[in-house]
Structure 1
Amino acid sequence: MMSYSVPFKATTVFLSVFLLYVVAVAISLMTGPSGIDASLLVDMPFFPSSVPGGSIREHQPLNATIVTWLLLPRTLMALLCGAALGAAGVLIQCATRNPFASPATLGVNAGAMVAIVMGSVLLPDITGQYPVVVAFTGAIITTLLVFRLASAISHSPVNLVLVGMAITLSFGAISAGMLMFFENRLDGLYTWGAGNLSQFDFQAVQHSGPIILLFTLIALFFARQLDLIALGAEQAQTLGVNVRHAVGFSLLIAVILSSTVVSQVGMISFVGLIAPHIARGLGCQSVWSRLLLASVVGALLLLSADIAARLIPIMVSDSHYSFPAGVMTTIVGAPFMIFLLTRRNRVSAQVTTPGETGIRALFPMNPNRTLAVLSALCLVLMGLSLFSQIEMTFMHLRWPRVMSAAFAGAALGVSGLVLQTLTRNPLTSPDVSGLTTTAVLFIVLGAVLYPGIDSFGLMLLAIFGSGFALALLLTLSRLTGFNPLLFALGGLCLSAVSATLISMVLVLGSNQSSEVLIWLSGSTYAVTDERTYPLFSAVIILLPTLWMMWRRLDILQLGAYLPTLLGIRVSVTIALLLIIVALLSAVSVAAVGGVSFVGLMAPHICRVTGMSSHRHLIPAAAITGALLLVSSDWLSRTVIAPFEIPSGLLVSGAGGIYFILLLLSGKYIQRR
């Protein structure tokens, strides 16, 4: 774990925390949609008894009713959920010995989320009556899956995070697809999915409070064993600790706490990551003290985020609408994680990076023959997609989406290839790096602020978004010594912030909500001629330019020292290549939205055929990317016709499965 700490006396910490609690609770009880003042806190029945028929509410003034039945349970829920997430974060980080592990990064929250969404559709009665059980089922299955897959590969914390990333992306695609298909039935889950603490009675507090308090106390009994496990598994076993049981029970308690939170208030990210680090920074070295302080800090963090979510709309626009608390925790938590990534001298000992990464060739083939086969397959599939089951009179509607899928897939495939080459990490892609999600964010903001914006304007916004993400990632990479895993984690942080800001549009109930979901998931639906021309022009210009640099890409694979000896200006070349990648990612997003995993899979498929030179890899990745997206577009229109699945969701679901199979197959290699 991280070794930084600032020793504080226990008395000072206790008094400071107590004062902050008093201030935060008072502000929370005075912050409401009706402008309640402090005088309402006098002689208020803060813990009303349960009276049939709600007679207490009938005899209370309106403001008193708001404080007692709306603000007080909301405040208590924030404290309970924040404490649960803080304790869960400590348990997960200690059990995995990974400073970046949390319920969000290991897919626990995503598993609980998809279980609630699917349960609301398939088993609405059971989900409504036992939401904690449904959420726990999804969370525990996801956790077991992540750990089983990661342990099958290796016991490195790197693979644990990577598998968690893949599961999160795949389950996110499933949740988004369910929300789109059952929009009317799951309308309230938009706000819930963003982490909504709004309460109308004490029912949620009564249901979740005993569970959270009980399992937090139980976690304290494993604190001593986790302290010994921190010394190493062999040392802990020598001292009589059953490492497997201690780790298993600790993770089980963390999953119970996290799933309880998700079942009641939705997705709250980064609290489980930040609170343990703050607790350690305040000098808590033992797991016992860290559990207690992280619970307290987590409660304060979530309550403060909820207060900010209620105050900011009032301060900015004098609105009585409050944002979900999950939005604020993500906006604050992602920069905090990026700050942790910049602590290179402290992180390097915790996150080991393989000296070499690559994809083993499954069956070597002649590169020219492979290119010919891929080209033939792509042409056949494009023809099948264009001419099957359609009258020629509708060709003007079909050809723009098919051609857009082909060109956007080519752009994403080549972008992923270049990123994997530059980082020497086959697990990097435009979506993992945050380039596509940030571009979607800029497009959504532009579409909301300027509803009449044309396709050229959307493309410019996407370029600005990808360029902004690229600049941040380059700065982060320079500070972290170009560590590939930290580059991927930084991209995930950018993606989390962008996705959260995008969800604000959905939460606000904007008329653009359906369009935002399409942009976010990726779809060729309603692609017009006007939107395809900028994509065609950019791809036709940039891909040949990139192909002419194939020799430099081959040399850059050798590292930073040898290219310099061969006369290549490494920094200038890398900057130029990354600019091209950002442009290709931006134009694809402007045309078809945020499509995931194409940039990851296309280069892999080419490398397993034995290709090594970028002379062949660049055109092969372009053709393979086009093949993947055209095939997903065709399947999205035919699988459940006459209804349509966004092609990006199909690619994301298949990409997550492919990603895991890649790790399990051993074709992904890590050597020192």
Structure 2
Amino acid sequence: MNYFGIIRPAMVTCLMLMLYLAIVVVSLITGPSGLDPQLLSGFSLSPVTGDSEMANVIVTWLLLPRTLMALLCGAALGAAGVLIQGATRNPFASPATLGVNAGAMLAIVLGSVFLPQFTGQFPVVVAFSGAILTTILVFRLAQAISDSPVNLVLIGMAMTLSLGALSAGMLMFYENRLDGLYTWGAGNLSQFDYQPIQRSWPIIGMLTALALLFARRLDMIELGTEQAESLGVNVRRTVGLSLLIAVLLSSTVVSQVGMISFVGLIAPHIARGLGCRKVWLRLLVSTAVGALLLLVADVAARLIPLLISDSHYSFPAGVMTTVVGAPFMLFLLTQRKRVSALATTPGETGIQALFHLSPVTFLSALAFVFLLIFGFSLFGNLDLQWINLRWPRVLSAAFAGAALGVSGLVLQTLTRNPLSSPDVSGLTTTGVLFVVLGLVLFPGLGSLEMTLLSIMGSGFALLLLLGLSRLTGFNPLLFALAGLCLSAMAATLISMVLVLGSNQSSEVLVWLSGSTYAVTSERFYLLFISVLAVLPLLFAMWRRLDILQLGEYLPSLLGVRIQATVAILLVMVALLSAVSVAAVGGISFIGLMAPHICRVTGLSSHRHLIPATAMMGSILLVGSDWLSRTVIAPFEIPSGLLVSGAGGIYFILLLLSGKYIQRR
């Protein structure tokens, strides 16, 4: 008799129960002032008076419902992760990486603004409508591009960034009506009664039980679509219903506590690592692990601010899950056995031309449009006083747009992937993180210090991505996916820094969204000098960029030192991204859109693409700056939010139109 096969599961179960009990106890004694064992007196069955009465109130109405909500939501996300990964046969898939949570969050924000009464009564319905629409869109876009599972996650995370920007814009625009929703949206488990739990547990329990009915069919689907159909499984219906249950579970969580990321990614992997091969067993273990993970994250979110700064603030639990989950996903990308069957290097990836213009004609037209928009934005008011105030921001927008556009062009060429850009690759977001750290720790930093910090941040991101790329075989899709993970982690760390440095937070919030509002002449001069020094060097390398498009082997045959050339180009990209961040903050999608718009006109040589992309990036950002000043004047919208919204719409239209191609 195989006693080891019986003892091992029993030992794991006992350890899990002991760990559960320990974490639950810690959660119930982690009060507003930190760990307080005296709160255990709140469980006394004898009549309570004085301190015991206060402890009873804190435990009963604050800590116990918060603990139960963490366990409930973690279990739901763990189950949703198993269903999504099983249905898609993709170990990178989860409610967070497919945009499900972001769609539900945006629906809640929009519902709170336009349908507040209905959203208050039926939050799950509102969240589900946004989540299911986003899920359908992500899957349709993935099917339009290719069958690559990594592409599915890449699109889902890009959609998450876009929808997150729209949510942030709504939260900023309707600040008074959505007061408190920002912290809630980041995954806040604070509870003051048991009503949310009473509303949620029947839905989550019923859906989890229903998911068990599909476990055997998902086991067969893991063998392959053809084999599952030969065994009588309706693959299309099973996948659709499994995804529907997962979306409902995720929507229920988002409607109650906001966005909790990466629990649905980590829990199924831990369950599989514990030896759970069958889906039904993996589903049960993943619910238990997910509950434990979220409760641990919530306890850490309450304790870390007290340990670091003796602050009575607490991080949202969703922040802590992202801090752990994003590095975990980066770790998965380094496991070649996991990714070898999921992603292969595409033979050709690019943008199909809509029409073909001669380079001279297009560049001349682009120069005319640039001068027109630039002049209108700068001289729209002939008052000399307004021009003196306006010229630093307009010129900064022009040079930053050019820098970001060319950076995106070079990244797309090097990775042979038109979904690459400085923001998607994490270069700009990490630069923003370093600048925010500097502003919070050392208020009153000058322009030179901010630029140096931004360069350090972008350089750090570049080194990390290059190291990961070496581990993953320099696969372009995995490079982009690693960049998205890095962006998510950096954005989360920014939120943590702002919570710890709340006194200085208001000074950087608008700048974080990407704005030319506070640009000074000093920042402009630093940006001007850097761009003027780097862009000519990049233009001088246009022949090498053309050759690098030919693949992995032909450039070396033509005498190009690939590794040295790529390293030099990436350093230039990091420098351009860094000085742009230091000048105008976190601007997204310029580096994605500008090269695409130029390529659809038929331009192919970098001799023409570099100046065209520089002018197109300038047009996009200068135009966004003008719109940000005039749309709701005298108020102002951060130009970065306008660009993000436009970029999200453009991204969807690009993929739906089929102009993105990927052939092997």
Same fold, judged at TM 0.5 (above): yes
Q: Alignment partner for residue 504 of structure 2, among 512, 520, 530?
A: 512
Matched, 1:257 2:255: no
Q: Do the aligned partners of 1:378 and 1:626 also contact (CA within 8 Å) in 2?
A: yes
Equivalent residues of 2:440, 2:501 under 8 A apart: no
Deviation at 1:155, TM superposition (A): 3.8
Partner amino acid for 2:466?
A: L
The whole-number CA distance in structure 1 between the counterparts of 2:167 and 2:507 is 17
Question: 2:481, 2:7 → 1: CA distance?
Answer: 31
| Residues 145 and 660 in structure 2, CA contact (< 8 A), matched pair in contact too | no
Residue 359 of structure 1 is matched in structure 2 by 351
Q: 1:274 to 1:584 in 2, by over 3 A?
A: same
Q: SS at the partner of 2:661?
A: strand
Structure 2 unmatched runs, 5+: none
SS of the residue corresponding to residue 611 of structure 1 reads: coil
CA distance in 2, matches of 1:579, 1:156: 30
2:426 and 2:484 in contact (8 A); partners too:
yes
Match of 1:25 in 2: 24
Flag the 1:537–1:284 CA change in 2: closer, same or farther, 3 A. Answer: same
Quote the sequence identity (%).
Answer: 74
Distance 1:120 1:77 in 2: 22
1:44 is matched with: 43
Q: Does residue 426 of structure 1 match 2:418? A: yes
| Contact 2:440-2:498 at 8 Å conserved across structures | no
The offset of 1:255, in angstroms, is: 0.9
TM-score, normalised to structure 1, is: 0.94
Residue 343 in structure 1 maps to residue 342 in structure 2? no
**After superposition, where does 1:485-524 map in structure 2 within 5 Å?**
485-507=477-499, 510-524=502-516
User: Which whole-Å CA distance do the structure 1 matches of 2:383 and 2:483 have between them?
Assistant: 44
Query: Mapping of 1:611-650 within 5 angstroms?
Result: 611-650=603-642
Does the C-alpha gap of structure 1 residues 372 and 256 become closer, same or farther in structure 2, counting only changes over 3 Å?
same
Q: 1:555 aligns with which of 547, 551, 557?
A: 547
Identify which range, 284-293 or 65-74, moves more after superposition.
Answer: 65-74
Q: Hey, what's the Cα distance between the residues in 2 that align with 1:90 and 1:401? A: 49
Contact kept? 2:188, 2:317, Cα under 8 Å: yes
Does the Cα contact within 8 Å between 2:186 and 2:318 map onto a contact in 1?
yes
Moved more, 340-349 or 470-479: 340-349
Distance 2:532 2:412 in 1: 22
- Residue 235 of structure 1 pairs with residue 227 of structure 2: yes
Q: Which residue of 1 aligns with 2:196?
A: 204
CA contact (8 A) 2:309 2:500 kept: no
Measure, in 1, the Cα distance between the counterparts of 2:273 and 2:432: 36
Aligned residues: 660
1:132, distance to aligned residue in structure 2 (A): 1.9
CA distance in 2, matches of 1:8, 1:578: 53
2:438 maps to 1:439: no
8 Å CA contact 1:190–1:507 kept in 2: the answer is no
Correspondences of 1:404-483 after superposition (within 5 Å): 404-483=396-475
| Counterpart residue type for residue 577 of structure 1 | L
1:136 aligns to what? 128
C-alpha deviations, 1:195-250, integer Å up to 9, x for none? 11111222221111221111111111111111111122222222221212211111
Amino acid of the residue matched to residue 11 of structure 2? T
2:17 is aligned with what amino acid? F
State how 1:105-124 maps to structure 2 within 5 Å: 105-124=97-116
Taking the aligned partners of 1:427 and 1:7, their CA distance within structure 2 comes to 49
Contact 2:65 2:191 in 1 (8 A): yes
Structure 2 CA distance for aligned equivalents of residues 324 and 498 of structure 1: 16
Tell me which amino acid in the other structure corresponds to 1:622: A
* C-alpha distance in 2 between matches for 1:314 and 1:176: 27
Match of 2:167 among 155, 175, 180: 175
The secondary structure found in structure 2 opposite 1:9 is helix
Q: Distance in 2 between matches of 1:41 and 1:165?
A: 43
Output the CA distance in 2 between the equivalents of 1:42 and 1:389: 69
Contact between 1:7 and 1:282, CA under 8 Å: does it hold in 2?
no
Moved more, 336-345 or 633-642: 633-642
Q: 2:309 & 2:243 partners in 1: Cα distance?
A: 43
**Aligned partners of 2:628 and 2:398: how far apart in 1?**
15
| Kept after mapping to 1: 8 A contact 2:405/2:592 | yes
Tell me if the contact between 2:151 and 2:477 (Cα under 8 Å) persists in the aligned partners: no
| Post-superposition offset of 1:187 | 2.7
Tell me, in whole angstroms, the C-alpha distance in 2 between the residues paired with 1:636 and 1:320: 36
- Give CA deviations for 1:53-88 in whole Å, capped at 9, x if unaligned: xx9999961112212221111111111111111111
Contact 1:87/1:292 (<8 A) preserved: yes
Over 3 Å counting, the alpha-carbon distance change for 1:40 and 1:628 in structure 2 is closer
Q: Which residue of 2 aligns with 1:14?
A: 13
Q: Deviations over 1:519-538 (max 9, x none)?
A: 22211113221221111111
> Once the 2 structures are TM-superposed, how far is the Cα of residue 495 of structure 1 from its aligned partner?
0.8
Residue identity in the other structure for 1:142: T
CA deviations on 1:109-167 (whole Å, 9 max, x unpaired) are 11111111122222222222322222122112211222233334444324422332332
Paired residues of 2:515 and 2:638 also in contact (CA < 8 A): yes
Deviations 1:556-605 (A, max 9, x none): 22233333333332222111111110000011111111111110111111
* More displaced stretch, 234-243 vs 322-331: 234-243
- With over 3 angstroms needed to count, the CA separation of the structure-2 counterparts of 1:71 and 1:482, relative to structure 1, is same
The one of 130, 143, 154 equivalent to 1:162 is 154
Taking the TM superposition and a 5 Å limit, the aligned residue runs for 1:146-157 are: 146-157=138-149
Cα distance in 2 for partners of 1:563, 1:57 equals 81
Read off the aligned partner of 2:446 and give its amino acid letter. Answer: D
Contact 1:401 1:527 in 2 (8 A): yes
Residue 8 of structure 1 contacts residue 282 of structure 1 at CA under 8 Å; is this kept in 2?
no
Query: 1:45 and 1:225, CA in 2 relative to 1: closer, same or farther beyond 3 A?
Result: farther
CA deviation digits over 1:19-56, x for unaligned, max 9? 1111111111122224554464368179x9xxxxxx99
On the 8 A contact 1:538/1:584 being kept in 2, the answer is yes
Q: What do residues 251-286 of structure 1 show as CA deviations (whole Å, max 9, x unaligned)?
A: 111111111111111111111111111111111111
State the partner residue of 1:52. Answer: none
- The yes-or-no answer on 1:79 pairing with 2:71 is yes
CA distance in 1, matches of 2:325, 2:258: 17
Contact 2:418 2:596 in 1 (8 A): yes
Paired with 1:399 and 1:317, the residues of 2 have a C-alpha distance of: 41
Aligned twin of 1:103: 95
1:446 touches 1:458 (CA, 8 Å); kept in 2?
yes
Residue 8 to residue 88, structure 1, CA distance change in 2 (3 Å): farther
Partner in structure 1 of residue 317 of structure 2? 325
Partner SS state of residue 196, structure 1: coil
Whether 1:536 and 2:528 are equivalent positions in the alignment is yes
The one-letter code of the counterpart of 1:31 is T
In the TM superposition, residue 194 of structure 1 has moved relative to its aligned partner by 1.7
Change (3 A) 1:648 1:320: closer
SS at 2:349 equivalent: strand
Counterpart residue type for residue 650 of structure 1: L
Q: Which amino acid aligns with 2:217?
A: Q
Q: Runs of at least 4 residues of structure 1 off by over 6 A?
A: 55-59
Is the 1:191–1:507 Cα contact (8 Å) retained in structure 2?
no
- Cα distance in 2 for partners of 1:174, 1:592 equals 19
Cα distance in 1 for partners of 2:345, 2:258 equals 34
Higher mean Cα deviation, 115-124 or 530-539? 115-124
Superposed CA offset, 1:587-629 (max 9, x none): 1111111111110111111212222211111111111111111
Quote the Cα distance in structure 1 between the aligned partners of 2:163 and 2:644. 9
Give the counterpart letter for 2:283 in structure 1: L
Asked if structure 2 preserves the Cα contact closer than 8 Å seen for 1:224 and 1:288, the reply is: yes
- State whether residues 319 and 496 of structure 2, in contact with CA within 8 Å, keep that contact through their aligned partners in structure 1: yes
